[in-house]
């Protein structure tokens, strides 16, 4: 374990915590107080740490995502589990609000050639989000939905080019996890920098 810590740059206490929490598979035991860890453990450790510390995911969410990555399910199923875990539980909305939001988002999806299905956790999250924005009276944000959707199409092309560049299938799933969790953070940060610059341009006194 000391070697695993040195190799990955992650403290022994943190590794023990990840093992206890079931995020990292146990090493191959070679004596009562020694175990062998391989390259895969080092990779997995780095992935877990990135998801927890940089991506800000909870240990419970990482456990779900890691279990899906390790399973023998088809890649699209793994990605579905990951999206569900990342999206969180849906927020309660009234039937009237749901109908309005589904109409708004469904029309947008059709325009962009996207699927918008009730049982998709992402669709549920979007319904809750647009309802909350409307309840807060921020119609101006909803007025920009079309522009946000155009930008989403553009960024999805870059996202998929990233995935295409990865050769092997098991690395593709990992790349999608990294691209989703860290890619969202990365883009959120760039968006902040661009917003700050645009704010300075428009409101020079800020």
DSSP 73-134: S-HHHHHHHHHHHHH-SPPP--HHHHHHHHHHHHHHHHHHT----TT-HHHHHHHHHHHHHH
Q: Is 118 in the site for a second copy (CB under 8 A)?
A: no
If the CB atoms of residues 38 and 56 are measured against a second copy, the closer one turns out to be 56
Site for a second copy in 150-169 (CB under 8 A): 151-166
The bridge status of strand 28-31 relative to strand 34-36 is antiparallel
Q: Is 107 in the site for a second copy (CB under 8 A)?
A: no
Q: Among residues 115, 119, 168, 204, which is the contact residue for a second copy, using CB under 8 A?
A: 115
Site for a second copy in 171-190 (CB under 8 A): 174-175, 178-179, 182-190
Q: Is 54 in the site for a second copy (CB under 8 A)?
A: yes
Q: Is 12 in the site for a second copy (CB under 8 A)?
A: no
Q: Is 72 in the site for a second copy (CB under 8 A)?
A: no
Q: Among residues 56, 60, 111, 118, which is the contact residue for a second copy, using CB under 8 A?
A: 56
Tokens standing for 16? 């023990």
Minimal distance in Å, beta carbon 165 to a second copy? Answer: 4
How many residues in the shown chain lie near a second copy by CB under 8 A? 82
Minimal distance in Å, beta carbon 142 to a second copy? Answer: 9
Q: Is 34 in the site for a second copy (CB under 8 A)?
A: no
If the CB atoms of residues 2 and 157 are measured against a second copy, the closer one turns out to be 157
Tell me the three state secondary structure of residue 28.
strand
* CB neighbour class for 128 (10 Å; exposed up to 12, middle 13-18, buried from 19): buried
Q: What is the distance between the alpha carbons of residues 43 and 170, in angstroms, rounded to a whole number?
A: 13
User: Which residues, in sequence order, are CB contacts of 5 under 8 Å at separation 6+?
Assistant: 11, 12, 15
């Amino acid at each position: 374990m000391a070697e695993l810590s040195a190799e990955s740059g992650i403290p022994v206490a943190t590794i023990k915590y990840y093992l206890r929490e079931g995020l990292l598979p146990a090493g191959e035991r070679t004596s009562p107080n020694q175990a062998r860890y391989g390259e895969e453990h080092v990779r997995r450790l780095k992935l877990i740490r990135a998801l927890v510390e940089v991506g800000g995911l909870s240990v419970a969410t990482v456990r779900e995502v890691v279990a899906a990555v390790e399973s023998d399910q088809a890649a699209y199923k793994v990605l579905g589990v990951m999206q569900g875990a990342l999206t969180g539980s849906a927020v309660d909305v009234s039937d009237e609000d749901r109908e309005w939001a589904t109409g708004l988002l469904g029309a947008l999806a059709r325009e962009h050639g996207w699927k918008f299905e009730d049982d998709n956790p992402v669709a549920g999250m979007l319904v809750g989000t647009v309802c909350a924005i409307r309840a807060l009276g921020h119609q101006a944000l909803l007025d920009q939905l079309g522009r946000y959707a155009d930008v989403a199409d553009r960024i999805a092309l870059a996202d998929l080019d990233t995935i295409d560049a990865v050769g092997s299938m098991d690395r593709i799933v990992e790349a999608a996890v990294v691209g989703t969790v860290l890619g969202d953070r990365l883009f959120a940060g760039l968006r902040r920098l661009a917003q700050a610059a645009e704010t300075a341009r428009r409101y020079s006194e800020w």
